[in-house]
Amino acid sequence: MRRLLILLLGCSLALPALAADEALFGEDDTWSLFTRLDLKFSDFGGDSGFIGGAQIGGILNDKLAIGLAGYALLSEVDVAPNGYNNPEAFDLAYGGLALEYTLYSENLIHVSLGGVIAGGQIRLDRTVGGNDKNLNLFVIEPQFNLLLNITQRSELGLGIGYRHADPSNENIEGVEQGDLSGLVGTLFVRFTEF
């Protein structure tokens, strides 16, 4: 048993000599945590409404942001006449992976490209007989942003994007992919910490 412990100790001391010279993330790379608060305005079929949400995650070298995002409908919308009460506040929600790449972050005004890949759900309440429906959604939302550095650790952003929302295979008359997809305008503030 003693020999085994000595062998393990010797191997553990030799490990630093075998460390890789190249790595995806180096010692000079810096990570900062961020919190981003979003207010989105978007079309839903024949109506429009507000979506609120947040992102949290990390930013690598003030350029690549990777995090989690969550969004919910803040106002009632009328997607289509279909025998269902259309979504009320919070009846549409989605969340998932948020990615963003920032260019020229050291400048007062700069730009970024980003987006969200998410899963979600929309609830429709039956108005006359039948059952209520919960539709699962797959959402991809690419976005182009114009940002203004307020302080060294906060930014104000204005974005334009497109939400592609693909409902589950279940068909509901009057609710189609085009009703849930649309242009998205975003106003946001992002806070970074070190």
Residue 12 lies in a domain: no
DSSP assignment letter at 176:
-
Residue 38 lies in a domain: yes
Residue 65 lies in a domain: yes
The pTM score is 0.79
Average the pLDDT over 107-113 and give the result.
Answer: 94
The more confident residue out of 148 and 28 is: 148
Residue 63 lies in a domain: yes
Residue 7 lies in a domain: no
Domain count, the chain: 1
Separation of alpha carbons 187 and 75, rounded Å:
16
Look up residue 19 and give its two tokens: 């460390």
Residue 13 lies in a domain: no
Coil vs helix vs strand at 97: strand
CA-closest candidate to residue 118, choices 93, 92, 96:
96
Domain with 51 in it: 29-193
Separation of alpha carbons 97 and 31, rounded Å:
18
> What digits encode the pLDDT tens for the residues 61-98?
889 999 999 999 998 887 766 667 777 777 889 999 99
Residue 91 lies in a domain: yes
What is the CATH number for 168?
2.40.160.20
What confidence tier does 47 reach under pLDDT thresholds 50, 70, 90?
confident
Residue 43 lies in a domain: yes
Output the pLDDT for position 5.
60
Average the pLDDT over 154-173 and give the result.
Answer: 84
